[in-house]
C-alpha cells in the first residue's frame, strides 16, 4: 500500500469488495473502477462537474471516475436549497451536473446508470483550472456561500494516507456510513478505506432508522464516525446497552464534544472493547489534522490529541510569535501536505495557485499540555456549528439582510441567536432561515431587540449583544 | 392535565407547532421532526411521563399514532 493513491491505483485490489450496498450487494474494486471510468469517459479532463452526492454506489463511482480522469468535481449536498444552487451554478458555470435521477430537470441528459444521470448544462468557460486542483468542497453548504475550498491531488492523497496510517486501516475493515459524502469528514472515511482496499457499507439511513442498525449488525460493520450530535443521539439511544460485537472503533470529529461526553464514551467503549477516537480537522486541511490515540481517550478526555502523521501543530500569540510554554492559549497553526490551496469564490479563481503554502491558521484558539496534547478552548472566526454543520455568522447576516430582514447573528454551537430590530416577525425570520439552511429550527432562536449595539465606527459589538439581551 | 394533553404538548413544545397539526405527524413529515427534533421529542415525552424508553422503542417512535401504542408498554394510556 506504499505510494499508491485511492483513485488511480486501487485496481490492485481487483477482487476485494469495495462497496456493500443497502441491499447487501457486494461490489468489487474491479466493478467499481469499470463504472467509474465509464461515467468519466463522457467528460473531458479538467472540466468542472457538480456532483450531487448520496451514499450510494454510483455516487462513489462517479467521484472516483472524475478524480481518475482529472475532471474536477464540486461536491454538493442533495438537500441544497434550489435558489442557493442556482447561485452556485452561476458562480462556477460547471459544464456538467451529475445527480440522482429526477434531482434536476434542466439541461441535456447524456448518460444514465444505477440511479444517477449526467447532464450537460450548456455552460462553457475558457478559464483553465490549476493543474493541481483535484476537487472543490463547500465550507458552509447551508448558507449557500459560493466560497469553496480548493483541494489538490497531493492534499487528498496525503491526508488519506495519514488517516490509514494512524487508524491502522486494513483491507479487513468495513465502515458503515453515518455522514453525508459531500461533507469532508464523510468523504475522508470513503477515501481512506478505498486506499486500504477495505469494504465500505453505503447507506443514507440515519441512526434513528431501524435499517441502519440492521445493516450494521447483519453486515458486521467494524466502524463508523460521528459529529457531536451523533454522539448525543447514541447516548439517548442508550449506546451503553447495545450489543455490537463487530464494531472495532468509532471516531468523533466535526466539532467539539463536551468533555463529560468524551469521558462517558471513552469509558463505555473501553468496557465494550471498542476504540473511541476523537479527532479534529477542517475542510481547509482537506479533512484531518489531529487525533487522540484511543489509549488516551479517558486520561486526556476533552483533548483533540496530537497532529496526524506528516503534520505539525504550533501555537502563536497575538503578535504571531510561536508559544513554547505549555498551558498557554494561542491560535492553533497547522503545517502539512494536506493544507489546501485556498478558497475560490467563482470559476476564475479555479486558476489560482497555492495560496497557503502548507500552513493553515485554523482560527481555533487552543493550548497544549505538558505531554504535548492539544485542547481547543475557543474560536477566532465568526462561525458556529449547528448540529455538525458549519454556519458562518457573517454570511447568515448578509443572506438575511438581502432578504430584507435587519438583524445580526451570534450565539453558540447548536444555538444560533438572531437579533432582529423593529417590528419584524420572529416566526418569519425563523421560517426563512430554516428554509434556506435545511437545519432543524431548534438550532435557532430569534430575539427582538431595541437597537443593534455598535461602536462609534459603526461596527457591531457582538460581545455586548449577549449581555444586553441575553 | 390528561395524558393526551401531556402527549400533545410534548409535540407542540418540541416542534413549535399548533395543536391542530399534531395528529397526522410522522417522522420526517415536517422539517422540525428530523433526527434532531426526534431527540427533543423523546426527551419531552420521557419527562412528561417519567419513563425511560428502550432503544428499539425510540427508533420505532415514527408517528403520533405509533407513539401512543409504544407508550402502552410503559403503562401510559393515551385516550
DSSP A213-257: HHHHHHTT--EEEE-HHHHHHHHHTTGGG---TT--EEEE-SSPP
Residue in B37, B42, B58 closest to A440 by CB: B37
> Which secondary structure element, helix H or strand E, spans residue B59, and what is its range?
helix B55-60
Section A235-257 average pLDDT: 95
Q: What is the pLDDT of residue A2?
A: 57
The pTM score is: 0.90
Neighbouring residues of A386: CB distance < 8 A, sequence distance ≥ 6: A142, A413, A414, A416, A437, A439, A443, A444
Sheet architecture: strand order including A223-226: A223-226, A249-252, A275-281, A288-291, A306-307
> Which chain B positions have a beta carbon within 8 Å of A213's beta carbon?
59
Best of B59, B66, B67, B70 to substitute, by most chain A Cβ atoms within 10 angstroms, is B59
Residue B24 inside a domain? The answer is yes
Residue in B32, B38, B40 closest to A208 by CB: B38
The CATH homologous superfamily of the domain defined by A383-469? ANL, C-terminal domain (3.30.300.30)
Is residue A334 within 8 A of residue A360, CB to CB? The reply is yes
Neighbouring residues of A155: CB distance < 8 A, sequence distance ≥ 6: A134, A286, A337, A338, A339, A340, A341
Beta strands, E only, chain B: none
Is residue A470 over pLDDT 60? Answer: no
Residue A167: exposure state from Cβ atoms within 10 A (0-12, 13-18, ≥19) = buried
Do the strands A359-368 and A330-335 form a parallel or antiparallel pair, or are they unpaired?
Answer: antiparallel
Which CATH number fits the domain that encloses residue B28? Answer: 1.10.1200.10
Query: CA of A117, closest CA in chain B: separation in Å?
Result: 26
Query: CA of B14, closest CA in chain A: separation in Å?
Result: 8
Q: What is the three-state SS of A96-114?
A: EEEEECCCCCCCEEEEEEC
What separation in angstroms does the CA of A251 have from each of A154, A189, A247, A372, A392?
Answer: 24, 10, 11, 21, 25
Residue in B14, B39, B54 closest to A233 by CB: B39
Neighbouring residues of A358: CB distance < 8 A, sequence distance ≥ 6: A335, A336, A337, A339
Is residue A1 over pLDDT 70? Answer: no
Q: Among residues of chain A, what percentage have pLDDT more than 70?
A: 98
Instruction: Name the β-bridge partners of A72.
Output: A48
Q: Do A209 and B59 touch (CB under 8 A)?
A: yes
Calpha distance A107→A121 (Å, rounded): 5
Residue B56 inside a domain? The answer is yes
Section A31-45 average pLDDT: 97
Residue B26 inside a domain? The answer is yes
Residue B15 inside a domain? The answer is yes
Is residue A148 over pLDDT 80? Answer: yes
Q: What is the pLDDT of residue A126?
A: 72
Calpha distance A8→A4 (Å, rounded): 8
Calpha distance A462→A401 (Å, rounded): 17
Calpha distance A376→A340 (Å, rounded): 21
Query: CA of A330, closest CA in chain B: separation in Å?
Result: 33
Q: What is the pLDDT of residue A461?
A: 86
Q: What is the three-state SS of A16-39?
A: CEEEECCCCCEEEHHHHHHHHHHH
For residue A325 the three cell numbers come to: 510554554
pLDDT tens per residue, range B29-57 = 998 898 889 999 999 999 999 999 999 99
Number of domains in chain B: 1
Is residue A93 within 8 A of residue A125, CB to CB? The reply is yes
> Which chain B positions have a beta carbon within 8 Å of A237's beta carbon?
55, 58-59
Complex-level ipTM: 0.84
Q: What is the dihedral of CA A298, A304, A306, A308, to 10 degrees?
A: 120
For residue A375 the three cell numbers come to: 485542547
Q: What is the pLDDT of residue A164?
A: 98
Is residue A437 over pLDDT 60? Answer: yes
Residue in A206, A241, A442 closest to B55 by CB: A241
Is residue A215 within 8 A of residue A241, CB to CB? The reply is no
Q: What is the pLDDT of residue A110?
A: 96
Average pLDDT, chain B: 93
Residue A344: exposure state from Cβ atoms within 10 A (0-12, 13-18, ≥19) = buried
Is residue A127 over pLDDT 80? Answer: no
Q: Do A233 and B35 touch (CB under 8 A)?
A: yes
Is residue A29 within 8 A of residue A51, CB to CB? The reply is no
Q: What is the pLDDT of residue A142?
A: 62
pLDDT tens per residue, range A180-226 = 999 999 999 999 999 999 999 999 999 999 999 999 999 999 999 99
**By residue range, what is the domain housing residue B22?**
3-72
Residue B79 inside a domain? The answer is no
Grid look-up 447548536 returns A414
Calpha distance A366→A354 (Å, rounded): 26
Section A241-259 average pLDDT: 95
Q: Do A242 and B32 touch (CB under 8 A)?
A: no
pLDDT tens per residue, range A309-360 = 999 999 999 999 999 999 999 999 999 999 999 999 999 999 999 999 999 9
Residue in A206, A242, A441 closest to B35 by CB: A206
Average pLDDT, chain A: 93
Calpha distance A229→A332 (Å, rounded): 24
Assign domain A10-377 one CATH number from 3.40.50.12780, 1.20.1250.20, 2.30.30.790, 3.40.50.2000: 3.40.50.12780
**Confidence grade of residue A143 (pLDDT, cut at 50, 70, 90):** low
**Confidence grade of residue A144 (pLDDT, cut at 50, 70, 90):** low
| pLDDT higher at A75 or A399 | A75
Section A239-259 average pLDDT: 95
Q: Do B36 and A443 touch (CB under 8 A)?
A: yes
Domain boundaries of chain A, sorted by first residue? 10-377, 383-469
For residue A465 the three cell numbers come to: 449583544
Is residue A343 within 8 A of residue A349, CB to CB? The reply is yes
Q: What is the pLDDT of residue A141?
A: 57
Closest-CA residue of A relative to B37 is A440
Amino acid at each position: 500500500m506504499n505510494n499508491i493513491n485511492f483513485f488511480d491505483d486501487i485496481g490492485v485490489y481487483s477482487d476485494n469488495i469495495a462497496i456493500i450496498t443497502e441491499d447487501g450487494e457486494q461490489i468489487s474494486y474491479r466493478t467499481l473502477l469499470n463504472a467509474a471510468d465509464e461515467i468519466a469517459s463522457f467528460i473531458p479532463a479538467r472540466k468542472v462537474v457538480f456532483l450531487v452526492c448520496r451514499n450510494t454506489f454510483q455516487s462513489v463511482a462517479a467521484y472516483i471516475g472524475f478524480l481518475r480522469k482529472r475532471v474536477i468535481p464540486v461536491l454538493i449536498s442533495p438537500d441544497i436549497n434550489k435558489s442557493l444552487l442556482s447561485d452556485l451554478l452561476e458562480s462556477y458555470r460547471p459544464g456538467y451536473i451529475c445527480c440522482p435521477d429526477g434531482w434536476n430537470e434542466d439541461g441535456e441528459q447524456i448518460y444514465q446508470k444505477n440511479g444517477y444521470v449526467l447532464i450537460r448544462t450548456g455552460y462553457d468557460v475558457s478559464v483553465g483550472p490549476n493543474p493541481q486542483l483535484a476537487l472543490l468542497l463547500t465550507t458552509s453548504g447551508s448558507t449557500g456561500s459560493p466560497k469553496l475550498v480548493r483541494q489538490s491531488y497531493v492534499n487528498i492523497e496525503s491526508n488519506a494516507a495519514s488517516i490509514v496510517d494512524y487508524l491502522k486501516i486494513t483491507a479487513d475493515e468495513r465502515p458503515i456510513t453515518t455522514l453525508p459524502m459531500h461533507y469532508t469528514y464523510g468523504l475522508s472515511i470513503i477515501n481512506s478505506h478505498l486506499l486500504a482496499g477495505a469494504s465500505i457499507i453505503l447507506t443514507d439511513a440515519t441512526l434513528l432508522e431501524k435499517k441502519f442498525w440492521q445493516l450494521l449488525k447483519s453486515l458486521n460493520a467494524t466502524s463508523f464516525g460521528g459529529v457531536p450530535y451523533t454522539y448525543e443521539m447514541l447516548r439517548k439511544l442508550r449506546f451503553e446497552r447495545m450489543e455490537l460485537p463487530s464494531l472495532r472503533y468509532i471516531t468523533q470529529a466535526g466539532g467539539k464534544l463536551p468533555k463529560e461526553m468524551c469521558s462517558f464514551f471513552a469509558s463505555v467503549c473501553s468496557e465494550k472493547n471498542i476504540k473511541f477516537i476523537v479527532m479534529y480537522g477542517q475542510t481547509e486541511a482537506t479533512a484531518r489534522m489531529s487525533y487522540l490515540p484511543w489509549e488516551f481517550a479517558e486520561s486526556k478526555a476533552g483533548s483533540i490529541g496530537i497532529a496526524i502523521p506528516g503534520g505539525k501543530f504550533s501555537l502563536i500569540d497575538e503578535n504571531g510569535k510561536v508559544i513554547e510554554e505549555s498551558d498557554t492559549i494561542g491560535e492553533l497553526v497547522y503545517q502539512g501536505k494536506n493544507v489546501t490551496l485556498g478558497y475560490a469564490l467563482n470559476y476564475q479563481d479555479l486558476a489560482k495557485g497555492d495560496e497557503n503554502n502548507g500552513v493553515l491558521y485554523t482560527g481555533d484558539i487552543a493550548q497544549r499540555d505538558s505531554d504535548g496534547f492539544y485542547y481547543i478552548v475557543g474560536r477566532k472566526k465568526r462561525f458556529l456549528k449547528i448540529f455538525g454543520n458549519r454556519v458562518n455568522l457573517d454570511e447568515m447576516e448578509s443572506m438575511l439582510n438581502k432578504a430584507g430582514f435587519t438583524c445580526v447573528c451570534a450565539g453558540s454551537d447548536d444555538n444560533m441567536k438572531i437579533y432582529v430590530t423593529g417590528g419584524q416577525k420572529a416566526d418569519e425570520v425563523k421560517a426563512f432561515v430554516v428554509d434556506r439552511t435545511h437545519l432543524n429550527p431548534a438550532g435557532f432562536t430569534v430575539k427582538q431587540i431595541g437597537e443593534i449595539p455598535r461602536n462609534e465606527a459603526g461596527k457591531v459589538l457582538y460581545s455586548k449583544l449577549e449581555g444586553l439581551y441575553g | 392535565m390528561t395524558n393526551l394533553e401531556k402527549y400533545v404538548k410534548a409535540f407542540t413544545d418540541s416542534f413549535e407547532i399548533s395543536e391542530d397539526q399534531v395528529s397526522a405527524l410522522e417522522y420526517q413529515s415536517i422539517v422540525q421532526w428530523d433526527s434532531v427534533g426526534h431527540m427533543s421529542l423523546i426527551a419531552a415525552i420521557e419527562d412528561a411521563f417519567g419513563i425511560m424508553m428502550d432503544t428499539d422503542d425510540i427508533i420505532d417512535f415514527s408517528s403520533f399514532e405509533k407513539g401512543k401504542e409504544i407508550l402502552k408498554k410503559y403503562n401510559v394510556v393515551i385516550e
